[in-house]
Amino acid sequence: MNKLSLCLLAGTLIVACNNPSQNDAPATNTGNVADNTPPTLDFTVVKAYPHDTSAYTEGFLFHDGKLYEATGTEPDMPAGRRSLFGTVDLATGKITPKAELDRNKYFGEGIAFLNGKVYQLTYKTKVGFIYDATTFKKLGEFTFPSAEGWGMTTDGAYLIMSDGTSNISYLDPNTFRLAKVLGVTDNNGPVSNINELELIKGYLYANQWQTNYILKIDPASGKVVARLNLDNLVSQARNQYPDAEVLNGIAYDSTSGKVYVTGKLWPSIYEIKFPI
């Protein structure tokens, strides 16, 4: 092979090496980035009911067709506020107490009914109380691993509690040992201030403290899969009663399929409808 042929061959190889085939070419970025922000669920208000404006709402749920509310207070709060739980009369908003704590010792938090008992959290004392679900006689006390107690619900097997962080704890109702921890996240990472909880058709719904959001959480992954933005209800509550505080309280009546929400010191309980 002469020098001219060698040069032509070398040139061909260089061109081939510098021009990869289309199949080997790197993928190009089209600029389309997936938006993983949880979608907002639309809702409508079906009806408004009265709510006790002295009730500093910590727990809200249905059991055997009755609406229950749990409230909390501290010694430096107004004298009319109490740490109790009881049934709510939707016609008047009045709470009929079933059990009450010494407000000088305990700030009452969320409650849950499970296996014929009522479980009640307290805020910073790491003590919970157990009652008979029929007579409401106190049966005992328990401690929990979190530094604080906030909201509580159940899936029928575990007591599920929040503590104001991004973690939701599952407790064995017999030993009160920690069975598992569910970390709540969205597209921005961990979601803190998880508060009052309700289980609705397999999803956990949670008030996020200091926001007007109710979060829909997949209990298998901890991912926030959707949100309810209740700005309008918060504004309405504060327009009607200037001392109304944050949104807190989700109650699901599994028999009727109705959902009710309220807030701390709100003048109203709202029945709302949204895609569950």
Residue-wise pLDDT for 228-237, tens only, equals 999 999 999 9
- Is the pLDDT at 127 greater than 70? The verdict is yes
- Is the pLDDT at 44 greater than 90? The verdict is yes
Phi-psi region of 122 (alpha: psi -120 to 50; beta: other; left: phi over 0): beta
- Is the pLDDT at 31 greater than 90? The verdict is no
To the nearest whole percent, how much of the chain has pLDDT over 70? 87
Mean pLDDT of the chain: 90
Mean pLDDT computed over 11-21: 39
Cα 255-94-209 angle, rounded to 5 deg: 75
CB 159 within 8 A of CB 118: no
Tell me the DSSP string of 78-119: -TT--EEEEEE-TTT--EEEEEEE-TTT--EEEEEEETTEEE
In the chain, domain spans: 38-273
Residue 34's pLDDT is what?
A: 55
Residue 57's pLDDT is what?
A: 98
Mean pLDDT computed over 148-154: 98
66-86 per-residue burial string, b: 16 or more CB within 10 A, e: under 16: ebbbbbbbeeeeeeebbbbbb
Task: Name the residue with higher pLDDT: 29 or 108.
Answer: 108
- Residue 104: how many CA atoms within 13 Å on its side-chain side? 0
- Is the pLDDT at 263 greater than 60? The verdict is yes
Residue of 173, 227, 168, 235 lying closest to 197 (CA atoms): 168
- Is the pLDDT at 141 greater than 80? The verdict is yes
pLDDT band, residue 213 (cuts 50/70/90): very high
Q: Classify 38-273 by CATH class.
A: mainly beta
d(CA 213, CA 184): 14
Among 11-20, 70-79, 108-117, the range scoring the smallest mean pLDDT is: 11-20
Residue 9's pLDDT is what?
A: 39
d(CA 105, CA 90): 30
- Is the pLDDT at 146 greater than 80? The verdict is yes
32-60 per-residue burial string, b: 16 or more CB within 10 A, e: under 16: eeeeeebeeeebeeeebbbbbbbbbbbbb
Strand segments (E) across 172-263: 178-183, 185-186, 189-190, 194-200, 203-208, 213-217, 224-229, 247-253, 258-263
Tokens, residue 128: 């919970």
Tokens, residue 113: 């009914």
Residue-wise pLDDT for 193-212, tens only, equals 999 999 999 999 999 999 99
- Bridge partners of 271? 47, 260
Cα 70-191-261 angle, rounded to 5 deg: 35
